[in-house]
Chain A
């Protein structure tokens, strides 16, 4: 389904279409997404049974972050694979287990799961302990971070969805870390609810299926695409300097808060860039970007520790705006591609432009391509039908 492809319209619309193709190229492809879901569901049910048998506790594994939101982008080094965050929630009381025990038990379970998979002759990931999680590395495809967690029964911080509040471990910190990825995802979706609902219904109609059959993360709203474009721009700009790059949660939160349910990608993107800074606060000389579902959590706490990170964020934001504005001043898809390649990477731009050409060709073969009289503008709604032809010559 290529509901995002179209040709013609205004310069802004056409640029939006090209940027949408770029984001689609960087997104997790459907076959990998299916594999990913299969993998974490399999792990989830194995570990659920293990917890019932050995600890008589309930557990669940679910995705959080970009995979849950539909804003994942391929890393600049494509062979690194997509970053996937999974919450591994065990229904245990905080008093019954220490952070270290929770992490060790999770590690023990994952090792046994891997041994079990190996005994079945299945591909097994490399397992590495990290600061807040166990990383399962499926080479070239996914980096699955499994975050051990407990329910946060005492949570008073979260004004909503207390039942989805969780506690996470952190090797460097004594205290359990409060989190609520499900409530965050709900908040994110509320920011785009009008366009999300509209788009989901139109996708269901186009595919002739029930609305519920369209997966949440399959609905590529202008907000989600904007977040993907912004993250990719950041990744390219700071590819040599990953420590100081603006973090995804900040970009995602500020973008969602700034989104006004614009229907066109380019309008959404420019609107977001213009309004993004408004959710950044300065309180008692400290940078504050509150977690929308936990106002006591400051996503910008590191900016206060490393002031150059705030500067990097503002520099980056100015650069995105300048890059997008300069695109609008260029003429010639070839010149626009060169400029896009500088901002988003030459490989992805080349693939997206190739896709663009193929889509135009497909619309001609289907009989949908037209040429507006007076201008010669190719489009899909008005003018002379572009009948089939054969390109001859060397």
Chain B
């Protein structure tokens, strides 16, 4: 049993090139590049449901850091008198909980972060009309806790 757990780190690690290739293949109209400091920047248009708005999202990923997704257009707006739910400072969408291993560097962004971003946007539109977040697996940080 013990030997099965020892895998070379590299094999479980996707390179930025592999990540970007998969993103561009799934979204042929999107724009992406690997820029300075080995940073992946990918911009795509997403329509979560036939009745939704079309959103332009930007995904940034640097090896060793959390991938982040922001909505560039249209601007996210809160409900009257309420804050946006499930969002980090800088209007970065909260899409997963790292400690549960939902996303790891071995997983394709195109198969995790991107579908979650689309689903986030759908729940966001519904939240505007109901005031409640439709995703059942939601957790809220304790005050001042680390994410």
Chain A contact residues, CB within 8 Å of chain B: 7-11, 13-15, 18, 330-334, 336-338, 341, 349-350, 353-354, 356-358, 360-362, 364-365, 369, 371, 373-378, 384-394
Contact = CB atoms under 8 A, between A and B. Distances in A.
Contact of A390 (B53, B114, B133, B139): B139
A377 B135 CA distance: 17
Which label, helix, strand, loop or mixed, suits the secondary structure of the B interface? loop
Taking residues whose C-beta sits less than 8 angstroms from the other chain, chain B's interface range is 35 or more
Interface in B123-147: 123, 125-141, 147
Contacts of B138: 390-392
Interface string B86-130: 111000001111001011000000111011111110110111111
Contact of A393 (B29, B87, B102): B87
A389 B116 contact: yes
B48 interface: yes
Nearest to B116: A389
A383 to B, nearest CB: 8
B55 to A, nearest CB: 8
B83 interface: yes
Most central of B45, B130, B135 by chain A CB within 10 Å = B130
A390 B147 CA distance: 13
B122 A378 contact: yes
A390 B46 contact: no
A357 B49 contact: no
Contacts of B116: 386, 389
Nearest to B124: A334
Given A384-B115, A393-B94, A376 B47 contact: yes
A7 B48 CA distance: 10
A333 B96 contact: no
Contacts of B62: none
Contacts of A374: 26-29
Most central of B54, B86, B125, B127 by chain A CB within 10 Å = B125
A108 B65 CA distance: 81
A354 B132 contact: yes
Interface in B11-44: 26-29, 44
A365 B137 CA distance: 9
B140 A388 contact: no
B75 interface: no
18 contacts: A7-B49, A14-B50, A330-B51, A332-B51, A332-B125, A333-B51, A354-B132, A360-B119, A365-B136, A371-B115, A376-B46, A384-B110, A385-B115, A386-B119, A390-B138, A390-B139, A394-B87, A394-B140
